[in-house]
Amino acid sequence: MDMYLTTEDFREMMRVMYTDQQPYTLGEYEGIPLASEVCEIMDELRSFEVRADDCWIVTYPKAGTTWVQEIMSAVMHDGNLEEVNKSHSMLRVPYFEQTFPEEVRRLKNLPTTHRIADEMPSPRVIKSHLPGQLLPPQIWTKKAKIVYVIRNPKDLMVSFFHFEQMLNLKGAGLSFEEYLGYRNSKKASYGSWWDHYLYFWKRRHQPNVLVLRFEDLKRDLRGNVEIISQFLGKALSAKTLDDITEHCSFINMKNNPMTNPDSLLAADEIPGRSFMRKGKSGNWKTHFTVAQNESMDALIKEKLHGTGLTFDH
């Protein structure tokens, strides 16, 4: 498949975006804080033409998107990893609401990302971080498949904190304590994690929705690769499932320039930082103070009480 951009083009745009310190501003769409340029295209995004055979990976950022999108992409390629490795994960799987400031887009004559998805042959794997209520309504009428990933919000906080520092996003420059205050509020980009999670948690039994948990993928990657492939309607051999599992291990994804986002984000130019940071469950334990942990537990209890959604560790 022809790619809309080369890795080098994308990298150059990201460099302009992040290393040249373009200002990052948040706007609001239907009460949800989103990057200003995303707000501008939201009406258009909502009328996106969905196809019944689309496979969406939807997450609150840092919940395990890149991991699961790679599994889905490999599954939809029937485990043909040679083909998969011909292009970068982030180009194979368009990021639905990603857009670049106009001056950056002009550099490469680039339409907004959802327009790029228009051109892609079926079946498409499309990534989005939009909260469920802001996704194109056709997703629900056409019953496209959606894989949604939930991660322990404490680990999500740590992962997001480092990510925003790395790319100089809205939360950069905040202390971890300040960051917790921002990310645990409705003012955070993409809104609150609990509303985002609960939208899909409540719909987890719908036939076109598969809710997975980061911690389960850590415990049993092979089993989850199989669950994903069955959900996507693929009957893959045991050997193919093994190969996809190996392709998607943390270390293999980190070492593979076609799956590690650093190569596209130009993050490998930032000393000591990587998108593929730890890839663990429970890493929050080295970041949270006792008081921060207690207040996070109280928030989790308050927001998730009675929903059946809990976190083990």
| Site residues for ligand A3P per CB under 6 A | 59, 61-67, 155, 159, 162, 248-250, 253, 276-279, 283
Whichever of 155 and 226 has its CB closer to ligand A3P, that residue is 155
CB 76 to ligand A3P: min, Å: 17
CB 171 to ligand A3P: min, Å: 14
The answer to whether 97 and 129 have CB atoms below 8 angstroms apart is yes
Nearest to 136 by CA among 50, 40, 210: 50
Catalytic residue numbers? 129
CB 195 to ligand A3P: min, Å: 17
Whichever of 52 and 251 has its CB closer to ligand A3P, that residue is 251
Whichever of 283 and 293 has its CB closer to ligand A3P, that residue is 283
Measured CA to CA, the distance from residue 56 to residue 292 in angstroms comes to 34
CB 210 to ligand A3P: min, Å: 16
Whichever of 66 and 128 has its CB closer to ligand A3P, that residue is 66
